[in-house]
């Protein structure tokens, strides 16, 4: 899909009447990358933005999410907007760490260090679930698909969606990706690597996927 078609699709969905909907969920599976730039107000701070790659160019993830803000999509005002993003957010790889139960001494820095920040494209009633942390690669297996999508499907099949809050559900997904997957490749640069998902949430209520008829009966 090219950038124009993707933006047109998102805009089209945002202009639909969602009065009868309880929430919106959008899943994107694509190649991705990051864009970094120096903060014009703080020279020691580098900002990064996530990109979704299309067939002709990249689109800022923030721009896609922004389309569904309350002021742009009135029929979804006050309703949960959930985005599942399976895409790379850079090229870093996670070697994983051995979990140690001991305190480690640290030194407080006296000088302000250089650092990178990722402003999350998150607004009230939004939840964005990334397959991988900022700046990192997202793995997939040719035979099974992406780690994140497979883990999400495995968890969804096992739980009662009407009884498990969405944030608890995706926490289980992230746990499964982090502890059940490890890359295996002939190239030592990408062998034995790990991955962990990332949640940005500004939801103002718990989210349960209860069938409408069942939900109606519970209110009687």
Q: What is the mean pLDDT of residues 187-214?
A: 90
Confidence of residue 117 (pLDDT cuts 50, 70, 90): confident
Instruction: Tell me the catalytic residues.
Output: 31, 88
pLDDT of 107 reads 43
Residue 53 pLDDT > 80: yes
For residue range 76-108, what is the model confidence (pLDDT) as tens digits?
999 999 999 999 999 999 887 655 544 444 444
pLDDT of 113 reads 64
* Separation of alpha carbons 210 and 146, rounded Å: 27
pLDDT of 122 reads 78
Residue 60 pLDDT > 60: yes
pLDDT of 158 reads 94
Asked if 164 contacts 156 with a C-beta cutoff of 8 angstroms, the reply is no
Q: What is the mean pLDDT of residues 24-52?
A: 92
Q: What single DSSP character describes residue 10?
A: H
Mean pLDDT of the chain: 88
pLDDT of 98 reads 57
In the chain the beta strands, taken as DSSP E runs, fall at: 24-29, 32-38, 45-53, 58-60, 81-86, 115-117, 126-130, 140-141, 145-146, 198-201
Residue 110 pLDDT > 50: no
pLDDT of 43 reads 86
* Separation of alpha carbons 173 and 149, rounded Å: 9
Instruction: Give me the residue spans of the domains in the chain.
Output: 3-94+115-219
Classify burial at 17, counting beta carbons within 10 Å of its beta carbon; exposed 0-12, middle 13-18, buried 19 or more.
exposed
Which architecture does CATH list for 3-94+115-219?
A: 3-Layer(aba) Sandwich (3.40)
User: Which residues are CB-neighbours of 143 under 8 A, at least 6 positions away?
Assistant: none
Confidence of residue 118 (pLDDT cuts 50, 70, 90): confident
């Amino acid at each position: 899909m090219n950038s124009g078609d993707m933006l047109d699709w998102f805009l089209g969905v945002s202009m639909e009447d969602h009065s009868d909907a309880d929430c919106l969920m959008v899943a994107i599976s694509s190649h991705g990358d990051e864009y970094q730039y120096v903060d014009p107000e703080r020279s020691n701070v580098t900002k990064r933005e996530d990109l979704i790659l299309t067939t002709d160019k990249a689109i800022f993830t923030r721009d896609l999410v922004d389309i569904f803000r309350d002021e742009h999509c009135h029929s979804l005002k006050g309703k949960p907007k959930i985005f599942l993003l399976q895409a790379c957010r850079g090229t870093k790889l996670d070697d994983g760490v051995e979990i140690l139960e001991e305190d480690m001494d640290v030194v407080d820095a006296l000088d302000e260090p250089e650092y990178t920040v990722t402003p999350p494209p998150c607004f009230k009633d939004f939840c964005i679930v990334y397959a991988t942390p900022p700046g990192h690669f997202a793995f997939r297996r040719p035979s099974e698909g992406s780690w994140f999508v497979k883990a999400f499907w495995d968890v969804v099949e096992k739980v009662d969606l009407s009884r498990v809050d969405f944030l608890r559900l995706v926490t289980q997904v992230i746990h499964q990706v982090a502890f059940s997957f490890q890359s295996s490749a002939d190239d030592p640069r990408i062998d034995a690597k790990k991955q962990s998902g990332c949640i940005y949430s500004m939801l103002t209520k718990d989210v349960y996927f209860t069938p409408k008829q069942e939900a109606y009966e519970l209110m009687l």
